[in-house]
Amino acid sequence: MSDDGKRLFGTNGIRGIPNEDLTPEFCMKIGKAIGTFFGKTIAIGSDNRLSNSMIMDSVISGILSTGVDVKNISILPTPAVQYYCKRNHIPGVIITASHNPPRFNGIKCIDEDGTELERTKEEKIEHIYHKNAFKVASWEHIGKEILDNSAAELYISGVLSKIDVEAIRKMKLRVIFDAGNGASYRTTPELLSRLGASLVTLNANPDGLFTSRESEPKPSNLKYLIELAKSGEFALGIAHDGDADRAVFVDENGNFIDGDTTLSLFVQNYIREGERVVTPVSSSDAVDDICKERGAEVIRTRVGAPIVSRTMIERKARLGGEENGGIIYGDHQYCRDGAMTVGIILDIMAKKGKKLSEIISEVPEYHITRKTIPRKNDFNNIKAKLLKIFPDWNVDETDGIKLRKDHDWLLVRPSGTEPIIRIFAHSKSLGASQQLCEEAEKIIS
Ligand code: MG
């Protein structure tokens, strides 16, 4: 990372390749900026990537030099670190690259309420970094590193306190869980056993190379989980991404349930009349149908979990989430939370006394086909072309461009971090959404 005054924090913290972008020197300097900015005890945790010790030790060293103490809470899912910050009212740092390939790592800051740090505060840290405006403690005031192993227990109890544990235990579920070699290897199995589930775990060995499967919880990476679920021996299958802020599910027949359907299921069963749900423009119309029926309001935002969380707080919404398996339950905490999502789905199954496939069939059916293509043209040209080809479609420019006719819509947005365009095509049937997606791809390329 250079010192030329440029932005360091992206949409999800600082990401880069260790010893290329994330050198020990850079990480220590960022630690100094973070310590200077917060000026009070900071919690630090990580996922289980190979470079974590190097990065974490450098960040800690930088923080301690500013006279600030560090609570090292070790390897945990991202939402467990956030929950620790929220409950202890202290800021935090997480060393993680979420679902990115193993060569990447990252540094993310958390505010005292457990939410991802606001952009304006990140800018202050960047300013301190670029100006070398670090606090330097005298030798007798250098910070102390305190090891604290209470965070996992705090997190699991927090999730359990939000669901009907007895009702779930009575179901005596047989569950298959895929940790994908990631940071959830301890917490989610522990949560499931306390919920009385008999458990088969896959890839529950932490492995920074992610040898068993890629970290993104999509069907092509979950073939073994789906295959085993098809045996009919399990009530459901569960998988997280690397840092376990997201969860996806497989039903008792081995059918993959996408994150969009899980979000709808959550809203359908947890929403109360007069409440608000916050979700980006990329999730399906099912949420709108459910809220209309229940007398609730849907607030649509730009894509990105921190934006959804922030809007939930501002607009006093208890429920929110994204279409990629990231559910945000404000009664628990205002961030995406994989283990909480698991608790919610089991809670719904227990309350309804039904199988997962039966509950899913009650969600309004829509399909979204997604595609990523290289960005060759200026986005304004792409927009002009789309407007010309769909002249009578309703236009929404909350994020990229969203064109709508009834329940058919097309969302085209440039990625904030890579030279790519993301296409989302939504329709009542899978065939129609696939066709719309193909059409958009032809127009854009
Ligand atoms: Mg993640």
pLDDT digits (tens, 9 = 90+) for 44-53: 999 999 999 9
What's the gap between Cα 22 and its chain centre? 22
156 alpha carbon – ligand 1 mean position (Å):
18
Helices then strands (H, E): number in the chain?
15, 20
Cβ atoms of 283 and 411 within 8 Å: the answer is: no
Q: Are 412 and 390 in contact (CB under 8 A)?
A: no
pLDDT at residue 402, rounded to an integer: 98
DSSP secondary structure, 359-408, as one string: HHTTSPP-EEEEEEEE--S-HHHHHHHHHHHSTTSEEE-SSSEEEEETTE
Average pLDDT over residues 56-81: 98
CA 73 to ligand 1 center in whole angstroms? 18
* Model confidence at 442: pLDDT above 60: yes
Listed residue (67, 120, 112) closest to 93, CA to CA: 112
Residue 98 is a catalytic residue = yes
Please report which confidence band the pLDDT of residue 445 belongs to, taking 50, 70 and 90 as the band edges: confident
What residues contact residue 138 under an 8 Å CB cut-off, 6+ apart? Answer: none
Q: Which listed residue (46, 51, 61, 98) is catalytic? A: 98
Q: How far apart are CA 350 and CA 101, in angstroms?
A: 36
> Tokens standing for 30?
């960022």
Question: What is the average pLDDT across 177-195?
Answer: 97
Tokens of 246: 């997201």
What is the phi/psi pair of residue 175, to 5°? -125, 145
Mean pLDDT of all residues belonging to the chain: 96
**pLDDT value at position 4?**
63
CA distances from 116 to 139, 256, 367, 433 (A): 32, 30, 30, 33
**pLDDT > 80? residue 417:** no
Q: What is the pLDDT of residues 218-250, one digit of tens each?
A: 999 999 999 999 999 999 999 999 999 999 999
CA of 263 to the centre of ligand 1 (A): 16
Residue 162's identity, in one-letter code, is K
Count of C-beta atoms within a 10 Å radius of residue 253: 12
CA of 385 to the centre of ligand 1 (A): 34
Q: For 151, phi and psi rounded to 5 degrees?
A: -70, -40
The DSSP H or E segment spanning 127 is helix 119-131
The strand ranges marked E within 77-197 are: 92-95, 105-110, 145-147, 174-178
- The model's pLDDT over 134-163, given as tens digits with 9 standing for 90+, comes to 999 999 999 999 999 999 999 999 999 999
User: Where residue 409 falls among pLDDT bands split at 50, 70, 90?
Assistant: very high
Measured on CA atoms in the order 95, 97, 99, 103, is the torsion positive or negative? Answer: negative
> Three-state DSSP class for 7?
coil
Q: How far apart are CA 318 and CA 330, in angstroms?
A: 4
CB neighbours of residue 220 within 10 Å: 10
Contact yes or no for 335/114 (Cβ under 8 A): yes
Instruction: Tell how far the Cα of 65 is from the centroid of ligand 1, in angstroms.
Output: 30
d(CA 119, CA 108): 12
State residue 218's pLDDT score.
94
Q: How many CB atoms lie within 10 A of CB 189?
A: 17
Burial 258-279 (b: 16+ CB within 10 A, else e): bbbbbbbbbbbbbbeeebbbbb
Residue type, 230: K
The DSSP secondary structure of 213-241, one letter per residue, reads: S-SS--GGG-HHHHHHHTTS--SEEEEE-
What is the 98 CA–ligand 1 centroid distance (Å)? Answer: 4
Domains with residue ranges and CATH for the chain: 14-149 (3.40.120.10), 155-360 (3.40.120.10), 367-444 (3.30.310.50)
What gap in Å lies between CA 21 and CA 277, rounded to an integer? 38
Rounded to 5 degrees, what angle do the CA atoms 413, 262, 345 make? 150
First to last CA, the chain: 33
Q: Is the pLDDT of residue 1 over 60?
A: no
Residue-wise pLDDT for 86-108, tens only, equals 999 999 999 999 999 999 999 99
pLDDT in tens, 14-43: 999 999 999 999 999 999 999 999 999 999
Q: Residue 3's pLDDT band (boundaries 50, 70, 90)?
A: low
Cα–Cα distance between 67 and 25 in angstroms, integer?
19
Once rounded to an integer, what is the mean pLDDT over residues 287-309?
96
pLDDT in tens, 335-384: 999 999 999 999 999 999 999 999 999 999 999 999 999 987 789 999 99
pTM of the model: 0.95
Ligand 1 centroid to 241 CA: how many Å? Answer: 6
Q: What is the mean pLDDT of residues 308-313?
A: 96
